[in-house]
Amino acid sequence: MRRSRKVKILATLGPASSEEATIRKLFEAGADVFRINMSHADHDLMRTLVRRIRNVERELGRPIGILADLQGPKLRVGKFADGKVSLVAGQNFTLDDQDVPGDNTRVFLPHPEILQSVEPGHRLLIDDGRLALVAEAVDGKSIRCRVVSGTGISDRKGVSLPDTTLSVSALTEKDRRDLDAVLLEEIDWVALSFIQRPEDLAEVRKITRGRVGLLSKIEKPQAVARLDEIIELSDALMVARGDLGVEMPLEAVPGIQKQITRAARRAGKPVVVATQMLESMITAPVPTRAEVSDVATAVFEGADAIMLSAESAAGDYPVEAVATMARIAEKVERDPTYPGIIYAQRSEPEATGADAISLAARQIAETLRLSTIITYTASGTTGLRAARERPQTPIIALSPIVETARKLSLVWGLHCVVTEDARDLDDMVDRACNIAFREEFAKPGDRVIITAGVPLRTPGATNMLRIAYIGTDGLTGI
């Protein structure tokens, strides 16, 4: 099941794709990681999906990553006496703590943290920005606003606060229950929604204690403002363009996408580009030309993964959407301009032995036109460093730990293989050559380059680089 591309595909599971046979088809079409959206999945469904994914993994013999996406705080207004009201630009409209049905002058806001945090001049965007308000007076119990744009509001519409930092945890009580359930399953990544500040991640790290990778969804201006600090505490990032496009000007989102992608690449952290990538394929068998260009842009930027949401979860063509995304990525990566663009964005290595080894491995492999770079990685760090170089040469990541291989399935360019730990240096070279031949990355007479840490089984101690030939029997390293 070798992929013909380096960027990975993250597919969301849902009503259209929850059966085991469909999950297998999605993987065969190109999905590398599956996303379970905890906004829509209860614990029983989550456990069922994990079991089905792991069944497919065992059947096909390839490590598959699973990401559980926590819902995060959902802020909504209360209800109206008539279900909805009409408003006009310039009128006053109040959000308050009175739990009674609203009218065209006010509505209940069941979030005291908003009432206490919003300041005059702050914007409040209702229903994905369809109604825009600006706060004029606040007293901790109500927010008197002026309608800037929009003509109406109805029951339980969402509230976005682009100018306000809320003094509440990014984890709701539902998220805590979901996280406890997720940590009991074979899940590799947890995505955190509506991150505002680094402290949000520190809180979750205390709960997870390294049992899963933490992926921060960047979808609020407050997170963009503190991006470097959030990257430092994250294991991966997601450019969540849906909510980001509500809370920030739409025209700013493409630049922010590039900013986040490049910052994550510099830090050697995986980065996912998400939301509306092939949106029209929810109901159509082919995407628009603009969507194809959007996917291509993310691939040209060197994103580790690109994500499908409703397209694979609830669309009419889930398998076709994955296959289409895979074809776009493959074509982009074969484009003659692709290597130059990726090379121009390459980051300088850090002053560590492991980074120097990874840099040298890429340079040697590309100079000598070696068949593949093979890296032994127990914790995943060496694999991440190899991918950070964005080499033209394929990378095989070997790990004796299945959880590491699953987690690395999100990372650019890594073909992950679970293998027994090497007994000694000679066995390590033989095993690497054997796998490169078996997985069809090299043939007899080809050369490969191997990186590892010596002494063996020492996490984070990458200090060895060796060139080896694939033997005439296709199995023995010489």
Instruction: List the catalytic residues.
Output: 35, 76, 217, 275
Query: How many whole angstroms separate alpha carbon 203 and alpha carbon 176?
Result: 11
**Read out DSSP for 436-448?**
HHHTTS--TT-EE
* Closest alpha carbon to 361 in 448, 436, 302: 448
* Closest alpha carbon to 179 in 196, 169, 192, 168: 192
Q: Which parts of 228-277 are beta strand (E)?
A: 236-240, 271-274
- Residue reference for tokens 């008539």: 82
C-alpha distance from residue 375 to each of 143, 313, 417 (Å): 57, 34, 10
Pairing of strands 236-240, 271-274: parallel
Strand (E) or helix (H) holding 243: helix 241-247
* Closest alpha carbon to 166 in 136, 197, 193: 197
Query: How many whole angstroms separate alpha carbon 254 and alpha carbon 10?
Result: 20
- What does the block give as tokens for 298? 């993310």
Query: How many whole angstroms separate alpha carbon 451 and alpha carbon 466?
Result: 7
* 145 burial type by CB count under 10 A (0-12 exposed, 13-18 middle, 19+ buried): buried
